[in-house]
Amino acid sequence: MPSDRVLDVRGLTVEYGTDAGAVVAVDNVDLHVGPGEFVGVVGESGCGKSTLLFAIARLLSPPAAITAGTVDFRGDNLAAMSEKELNVLRWRDLSVVMQSAMNALNPVKSIGAQFRDTLVAHGNAKAEIANRSVEVLKLVGIDPIHLRSYPHQLSGGMRQRAMIAMALLFTPELVIMDEPTSALDVVAQRSLMVQIKELQERLGFAVLFVTHDMSLVSHFSDRLVVMYAGQVVESGPTRTVFDQPAHPYSRGLLDAFPSIRGPRLHLTGIPGRPPELRNPPSGCRFHPRCPVEMGHCKAIAPDLYPVGTSHARCLQHVPAADTAAVMP
Amino acid sequence: MTSPLFEARGLTKHFKVGGNLSRKSLHAVDDVSLVINPREIVALVGESGSGKSTIARLLARVYEPTSGEIRYQGKSLRSMRTRRQTMAYRSDVPMVFQDPFSSLNPAFRVSHGIMRGLKLHRPDLGRAERRAEALRVVEAVGLSPAAEILDRYPYELSGGQRQRIGFAQALAYRPKVILADEPVSMLDVSIRVGLLNLMTALRADEGVSFLYITHDLASARYVSDRLLVMYAGHIVESGPTESVLADPKHPYTQLLLSAAPDPRTPLEVSGSDIGEPPRVIDPSPGCRFRWRCPLAIDRCAIEDPLLRELGPQHSAACHVASAVADAVSAE
Question: For the segment A307-316, what is each residue's pLDDT rounded down to a tens digit?
Answer: 888 999 998 8
Say if B259 is an interface residue toward chain A (CB within 8 Å).
yes
Residues 283-312 in A contacting B (C-alpha not used; CB under 8 Å)? none
Percent of chain A with pLDDT over 70: 98
Task: Flag whether pLDDT at B289 surpasses 80.
Answer: yes
Q: What is the pLDDT of residue A101?
A: 67
Could you give the CA distance from residue B235 to residue B149 in angstroms, rounded to a whole number? 40
Asked if the Cβ–Cβ distance from B272 to A191 is below 8 Å, we say: yes
Question: For the segment B82-137, what is each residue's pLDDT rounded down to a tens digit?
Answer: 998 988 999 999 999 888 778 888 899 999 989 998 998 888 888 999 999 999 99
Residue B191: pLDDT band by 50, 70, 90 thresholds?
Answer: confident
Asked if the Cβ–Cβ distance from B261 to A219 is below 8 Å, we say: yes
Question: For the segment A199-235, what is each residue's pLDDT rounded down to a tens digit?
Answer: 888 888 999 999 888 888 888 899 999 999 999 999 9
Asked if the Cβ–Cβ distance from A257 to B221 is below 8 Å, we say: no
User: Which of A117-126, B162-171, B267-276 shows the lowest mean pLDDT across its residues?
Assistant: B267-276
Q: With contact defined as beta carbons under 8 Å apart, do B160 and A15 qualify?
A: no
Burial of A61 (0-12, 13-18, 19+ CB in 10 A): exposed
Using the CB atoms, write b or e for A15-34: b if 16+ within 10 Å: bbeeeeeebbbbbebebbbb
Could you give the CA distance from residue A227 to residue A121 in angstroms, rounded to a whole number? 36
Asked if the Cβ–Cβ distance from B277 to A155 is below 8 Å, we say: yes
Q: With contact defined as beta carbons under 8 Å apart, do B57 and B63 qualify?
A: yes
Q: Average pLDDT over chain A, rounded to whole?
A: 86
Of A103, A134, A143, the C-alpha closest to A116 is A134
What is the rounded average pLDDT of the residues B308-324? 91
Residue B241: pLDDT band by 50, 70, 90 thresholds?
Answer: very high
Closest-CA residue of chain A to B222: A258
Reply yes or no: is the peptide bond before residue B65 cis, omega within 30 of 0. Answer: no
Residue B45: pLDDT band by 50, 70, 90 thresholds?
Answer: very high
Could you give the CA distance from residue B306 to residue A53 in angstroms, rounded to a whole number? 49
Nearest-Å Rg of the Cα atoms of chain A is 21
Task: Flag whether pLDDT at A1 surpasses 60.
Answer: no
Question: For the segment A5-36, what is each residue's pLDDT rounded down to a tens digit?
Answer: 889 999 999 998 888 788 888 999 999 999 98
Residue B266: pLDDT band by 50, 70, 90 thresholds?
Answer: low
Q: How far apart are the CA of B61 and the nearest CA of chain A, in angstroms?
A: 27
B297-to-A99, A166, A285, B171, B178 alpha-carbon distances in Å: 39, 38, 58, 48, 40
Residue predicted with more confidence, A263 or B9:
B9
What is the rounded average pLDDT of the residues B241-263? 88
The model carries a pTM of: 0.85
What is the rounded average pLDDT of the residues A251-278? 82
Say if A76 is an interface residue toward chain B (CB within 8 Å).
no
Residue B130 is inside which H or E element, if any?
helix B127-140
Q: What is the pLDDT of residue B275?
A: 63
DSSP assignment of A178-203 equals ESTTTTS-HHHHHHHHHHHHHHHHHH
Residue predicted with more confidence, A126 or B305:
B305
B78-to-A64, A178, B59 alpha-carbon distances in Å: 56, 48, 12
DSSP assignment of A51-98 equals HHHHHHTT---TTEEEEEEEEEETTEEGGG--HHHHHHHBTTTEEEE-
Residues of B in contact with A157 (CB under 8 A): 274-276
Of A290, A259, A284, A260, the C-alpha closest to A272 is A290
SS (H, E, C) B202-265: HHHHHCCEEEEEECCHHHHHHHCCEEEEEECCEEEEEEEHHHHHHCCCCHHHHHHHHHCCCCCC
Residue B276: pLDDT band by 50, 70, 90 thresholds?
Answer: low
Q: How far apart are the CA of A252 and the nearest CA of chain B, in angstroms?
A: 7
Asked if the Cβ–Cβ distance from B263 to A194 is below 8 Å, we say: no
Q: What is the pLDDT of residue A198?
A: 86
Residue B267: pLDDT band by 50, 70, 90 thresholds?
Answer: low
Question: For the segment B136-145, what is each residue's pLDDT rounded down to a tens digit?
Answer: 999 888 887 8
Could you give the CA distance from residue A264 to residue A3 in angstroms, rounded to a whole number? 47
